[in-house]
Amino acid sequence: MKLSYIAVCVVLVLLVGEGAQMSMAATCNPMELSPCAIAIISAKPPTAACCSKLKDQRPCLCQYLKDPKLQKFINSPNANKVATTCGSPFPRC
């Protein structure tokens, strides 16, 4: 449990840092995906808030995949499961 908490904190820190750098694209903010962090890290089912944010940020996912700090989370098997469960599969980049 403690390890999951630490992993979620690490993801959120990475997302916060990236949000500041991506401010030039007003709608693309990886911090918006923070409701999905637990589902991506622990393979728990995504929440409705996660699915909503994932759909909002879907146009930005290719941009996030280009960032080495984010791509390991966005490109993970659990992230793909979350996207599929939410009915918003990842775009082909």
**CA distances (Å), origin 40, targets 16, 56, 75, 78:** 17, 17, 10, 5
Cβ-based burial of 83 (10 A; exposed 0-12, middle 13-18, buried ≥19): buried
* pLDDT recorded at residue 75: 85
DSSP 8-state secondary structure symbol assigned to residue 31? G
Q: What is the mean pLDDT of each run of 10 residues along the chain (93 residues)?
A: 42 46 62 94 93 94 92 89 93 85
The residues near 87 (Cβ < 8 Å, ≥ 6 apart) are: 51
**Tokens 């599969």 identify what position?**
89
Query: What pTM was estimated for this model as a whole?
Result: 0.69
